[in-house]
Amino acid sequence: MELLQLKYFQKVAKIQHMTKAAQELHIAQSSLSRTISRLEEDLGVSLFERKGRQIHLNMFGQRFLNRVERIFTELEEGTEEIAELQGIENKRVVVGATITRLLPDLFKEFLTVHPDVKFQLFQFSTTEIQEQIQQGTIDFCISSSPIHQSGIVSIPIMTEEFFLAVPQNHYLANRRTVKLSDIAEESFISLTMDYSFQESIYSLCIRSGFKPKIMFESNDLEVIGKLVTDGFGVAFMPAYWWKENKVNSPVKIRIDSPYYQRIIGLSWKERCYLSNVASDFREFTIQYFSHN
């Protein structure tokens, strides 16, 4: 069994199409097919279910892919570790986030201490970000709730209260607090259900005796805020939004029954090698949010 075989298998497993995989690998399809066949012969099992040119991993293939992913992750981490021992330090930190508004100030503070560090930032849904951590394509994620998944370490770094946003001429606009049951008949403008805290709020509404009537969904809080301002419905918005949107913004009303706040989490892959600069960033992030 050779690393080249594993590399080819990994590519085919991800694309699940022999012709397309061969094109991306810049080799003949016949050569790729022979390599996969030899690998299956070495293992004594088929790794794919074949239907014409379309192929799918079977149970053996999925288990084997998990191991192959770990092998390549270990090799990459080993290469980075050797480079650091030689004094060739990796100065890049890759961060994934379901919420990005917290990060500019964090990066700014960190870069004043480590000006030579390069950041890569990607925005993902909650489901996507878990996959990215497990695959080792990002060093850390900052998400709208801690991730509870085997192989991932996740710690809370801050909490944030949610409020009800209503138009300025709404009949509740003069209220300081509301109960969820008070707004059971309202039309809601909602963040998409990919966002875990939105799922939590939805569950709170169900437990309060009603299913929210969601008239519009968006993954952009600015869009949601504008729609509320224009009278298209009400929405649940994080506290920070009003700090950044003070002119002609919706009215902010505290929800006191049930009270809701979300927990922001910092996560990384368990038993995964982190460069010195990545480790520094993790400790800096924990300290930063403990004082802000």
Topology of the domain covering 84-157+264-290: D-Maltodextrin-Binding Protein; domain 2 (3.40.190)
- CATH architecture under which domain 159-262 falls: 3-Layer(aba) Sandwich (3.40)
Q: Which CATH architecture has domain 3-65?
A: Orthogonal Bundle (1.10)
Write down the pLDDT at residue 52: 67
In this predicted structure, what is the pLDDT of residue 204? 85
Q: What integer pLDDT is reported at residue 113 of this predicted model?
A: 92
Domain ranges of the chain: 3-65, 84-157+264-290, 159-262
Give the pLDDT confidence score for residue 20 in this predicted structure: 86
Residues of the chain with pLDDT under 70: 52-53, 80, 83-90, 193-198, 245-246
pLDDT at residue 222 in the model: 87
Tens-digit pLDDT profile for residues 254-283: 998 777 788 899 999 887 778 888 999 999
Residue whose C-alpha is closest to residue 224's, from 180, 198, 190: 190
State the virtual CA torsion across 9, 15, 21, 23 in degrees, nearest 10: -160
Segment 204-257, tens digit of pLDDT: 888 888 999 999 988 788 899 999 999 999 999 888 888 776 677 899 999 987
The answer to pTM > 0.75 is no
Question: Would 3-65 and 84-157+264-290 be classified into the same CATH topology?
Answer: no
Q: What's the pLDDT score for residue 226?
A: 92
